[in-house]
Amino acid sequence: MNRLTRADCHDPTGARFGLPTYPWRLAPEGLATRRQLRAAGLRPGGQDPVAQVLRPRRRGREPLTAYLYRIDAALPVRAMTPAKWAALAAALAARRTCPQCRTVRPYCIPTSLGMCPSCHDQPAALAA
């Protein structure tokens, strides 16, 4: 497998990868990743990616890819409605409720145990 170098990641015309491609951290001004848009209170708003950044990786692994969107075409993040807040609160409460003792804990129940540590540490005879 051919190793991708940092120089290979520079394709501003899009001839090689189909999208204009830039090396990691060298994207032009006015473009941002989804995470960068979200940190600025924006979302892509249905627009397709206009470019990408590639980060080569060692040992023959696939390069990391992040799509870039135009900041000027991005839309504000939609506000949470009361129904969405209620659904989020219910989902988080379900993650904190032990299925064994039905106690709502101040932490999320570990999925590795499937129950709260108190129930997990009880001997089987006492739990019945």
Q: pLDDT (tens digit, 9 = 90+) per residue, 6-46?
A: 777 778 888 888 899 998 888 899 999 999 999 999 999 99
Query: Which tokens is 112 given?
Result: 């590795």
Return the residue matching tokens 């299925």. 99
Q: State CA 95 to chain mean position distance.
A: 20
**What is the C-alpha separation between 32 and 78, in angstroms, rounded?**
18
Question: Could you count the other beta carbons within 10 Å of the beta carbon of residue 120?
Answer: 15
pLDDT tens by residue, 42-97: 999 999 999 999 888 777 778 888 999 999 999 999 999 999 999 999 999 999 99
pLDDT of 17: 83
